[in-house]
Amino acid sequence: MTKRPPVSIIGLGKLGACIAACFADKGFTVVGADVSARTVDLVNKGQAPVTEPGLAEMLQRAHSRLRATQDIADAVSSTEATLIVVPTPSTDEGGFTITYVLEAAKSIGRALRSKPAYHLVVLTSTVLPGSTEYGMIRVLEQESGKRCGKDFGVCYSPEFIALGQVIKDFLNPEFLLIGEYDERSGEKLAELYRGVVDNEPEVARMSLVNAELTKISVNAYVTMRISFANMVAALSEQLPGGDVDTVTSALGLDTRIGRRYLKGAVAYGGPCFPRDNQALAYLARQLGQRASLAEAVHDFNGSTNERLATRVLGMVPDGGSVAILGLSYKPDSNVIEESAGFLLAKSLVGSGASVTVHDPMAMDSARGVLGDQVVYASSVDEAITEKDVVVIMNPDRAYAGLDLAKVPESTMVVDAWRLLRKQAGDRPNYVGLGLGDDNQRLHKALAGMWTDPARARG
């Protein structure tokens, strides 16, 4: 078995804690560092500092190989490779700030000053092109008094993982993106990854700047696919018998397109897609260009949220009630950042309607923002009881199992993900987004297009 070098993880948040646990679970000796004394204490007790499926169990299994500290110098001096997993908040202009990255680099650099052995430093946080080479490396060299490529190595290697399935995605990546300062750095990181992942992914090795651009480009491209599917869904709703699932399934058969992210449902949200899309547009502006496509996708995504809010409000009678099922941006997550369900709840608050919300994991997150403006239901049944409108905003298992037979016909059910379409049949109180009605007002309009010669000629 190849010797597993000790690894340090700087930042034990939603991603860092999971990455540290994965390395430890695979037999690596791991030292995690975080500014939070509470986080450090929990990890040292073998307890999860964040909510993520599978993390608590993994930390218990790997407890003997993982320790945490608030001292970055201790973490670096005790290991051979360091992964920086700290926040890079978005700026008002759409870029990223690397303040936390540079703070971590200062501490790492000081630790490297007195360390004779070669050390690999890996930045995983999302940054703009140029940040690693002209930001982090300069600080590392200044603080250590050493030279990158000679005394220490540097890679930029972001993770393509989704909250709610971080461990699964980290251990089974579709591909590994490695931006390397030099070949030695890249090879050491590739070897490190080979010791932790469960599959055999393709490895894309390239320069630092190309890897940085690749990261935001991947997510920006995915937002475009989501928005395209949502556009098709909006069109399908206006066509008699229109069915977005039928259309997108056929699109996915074309190998030039594929099936991924062509569902047609709610606007994209979460901590990565919106900001990476905006970052690509920001980068273009800084370079004197226009990322018009990214900008259009961002605008369309916002209009998707607005259109749904208007539609739901139109179904709620004056002083009526609405239940929103699903506040997190995806199942198995408590993150409500930019999520369609959470934004819908915010839009309906103050409309005069009584708003009840439910989510399997995100209720505490919502309480921290919405306060007492909404009613928090402890169960799905409680949420939908005696409501004028019920809106399913998240494809969670809890909502896929909803029995429509128990919902009175006086309650409109808006199903953004069409989870219940098979059992819905021709129920008049069921509205599946992306599904047209044979009685749509456009039925006559479409027929008229082919019977009126003037309109047919356009």
Residue-wise pLDDT tens digits, 217-242: 999 999 999 999 999 999 999 999 99
Average pLDDT on 61-80 reads: 97
- Please give the DSSP secondary-structure letter assigned to residue 435: B
Of 206, 233, 266, the domain-final residue: 206
Residue 214 domain flag: no
Give, rounded to a whole angstrom, the gap between the first and last alpha carbons of the chain: 71
Residue 440 domain flag: no
Residue 161 domain flag: yes
133: how many CB neighbours lie within 10 A of its CB?
Answer: 18
Same domain for 162 and 231, yes or no, is: no
CA–CA distance from 102 to each of 85, 127, 371 (Å)? 12, 12, 35
State how many domains the chain has. Answer: 2
What pLDDT shows up at residue 449?
41
Same domain for 159 and 262, yes or no, is: no
Same domain for 254 and 171, yes or no, is: no
Least confident range from 88-97, 151-160, 355-364, 446-455: namely 446-455
* Cα–Cα nearest to 321, from 227, 241, 385: 385
Q: pLDDT grade, residue 350 (50/70/90)?
A: confident
CA–CA distance from 332 to each of 67, 190, 233, 359, 395 (Å)? 27, 30, 25, 10, 10
- Please give the DSSP secondary-structure letter assigned to residue 167: H
Same domain for 251 and 113, yes or no, is: no
Which helix (H) or strand (E) element contains residue 31?
strand 30-33
Residue 444 domain flag: no
Residue 367 lies in domain = 219-432
Q: What HEC string does 215-241 produce?
A: HHHHHHHHHHHHHHHHHHHHHHHCCCC
Q: Which residues of 163-183 are buried (b: 16+ CB within 10 A; e: fewer)?
A: bbbbbebbbebeebbbbbbee
Of 158, 175, 206, the domain-final residue: 206
Same domain for 57 and 82, yes or no, is: yes
Same domain for 240 and 388, yes or no, is: yes
Residue 2 has pLDDT above 90, yes or no: no
Q: Which of the following is catalytic: 18, 148, 155, 272?
A: 272
Output the domain CATH number for residue 118.
Answer: 3.40.50.720
What pLDDT shows up at residue 426?
85
Residue 433 CA to residue 440 CA, distance in Å, equals 14
Q: Which residues of 204-228 are buried (b: 16+ CB within 10 A; e: fewer)?
A: ebbbbbbbbbbbbbebbbbbbbbbb
Instruction: Count CA within 13 A, CB hemisphere, residue 56.
Output: 5
Q: Are 355 and 373 in contact (CB under 8 A)?
A: yes
Residue 2 domain flag: no
Q: pLDDT grade, residue 445 (50/70/90)?
A: very low
Q: Are 9 and 32 in contact (CB under 8 A)?
A: yes
What pLDDT shows up at residue 441?
42
On average, the pLDDT of the chain sits at 93
Residue 443 domain flag: no
Average pLDDT on 384-404 reads: 95
Average pLDDT on 431-443 reads: 71
**Unique residue bearing structure tokens 């869904």:** 233
Residue 240 CA to residue 219 CA, distance in Å, equals 34
Same domain for 377 and 267, yes or no, is: yes
Residue 218 CA to residue 45 CA, distance in Å, equals 37
Residue 395 has pLDDT above 50, yes or no: yes
**Unique residue bearing structure tokens 């909803």:** 402
Same domain for 256 and 350, yes or no, is: yes
Same domain for 201 and 225, yes or no, is: no
Same domain for 60 and 23, yes or no, is: yes
Altogether, the residues listed in the chain come to a count of: 458
Residue 3 has pLDDT above 80, yes or no: no
Residue 164 has pLDDT above 70, yes or no: yes
Q: pLDDT grade, residue 352 (50/70/90)?
A: confident
Residue 206 DSSP SS3: strand
Average pLDDT on 399-425 reads: 94
Residue 456 has pLDDT above 80, yes or no: no
Residue 410 CA to residue 149 CA, distance in Å, equals 69
Q: What does the pLDDT look like over 179-195, one tens digit per residue?
A: 999 999 999 999 999 99
Paired residues of 257 in beta bridges:
none
Residue 91 domain flag: yes
* For the chain, percent of residues with pLDDT exceeding 70: 95
Task: Extract the tokens encoding 252.
Answer: 């996915």
Q: What does the pLDDT look like over 85-138, one tens digit per residue?
A: 999 999 999 999 999 999 999 999 999 999 999 999 999 999 999 999 999 999
Of 155, 181, 206, the domain-final residue: 206
Q: pLDDT grade, residue 387 (50/70/90)?
A: very high
Same domain for 158 and 246, yes or no, is: no
Angle at 374 between CA 371 and CA 376, to 5 degrees: 90
Average pLDDT on 289-298 reads: 95
Same domain for 201 and 240, yes or no, is: no
149: how many CB neighbours lie within 10 A of its CB?
Answer: 14
Residue 302 has pLDDT above 50, yes or no: yes
Q: Is 18 a catalytic residue?
A: no
What pLDDT shows up at residue 447?
47
Q: pLDDT grade, residue 452 (50/70/90)?
A: low
Residue 122 — φ and ψ, nearest 5°? -120, 120
Average pLDDT on 12-39 reads: 97
Least confident range from 67-81, 297-311, 428-442: namely 428-442
Which helix (H) or strand (E) element contains residue 35?
none
Residue 441 domain flag: no
Residue 294 DSSP SS3: helix
Q: What is the reported pTM? A: 0.90
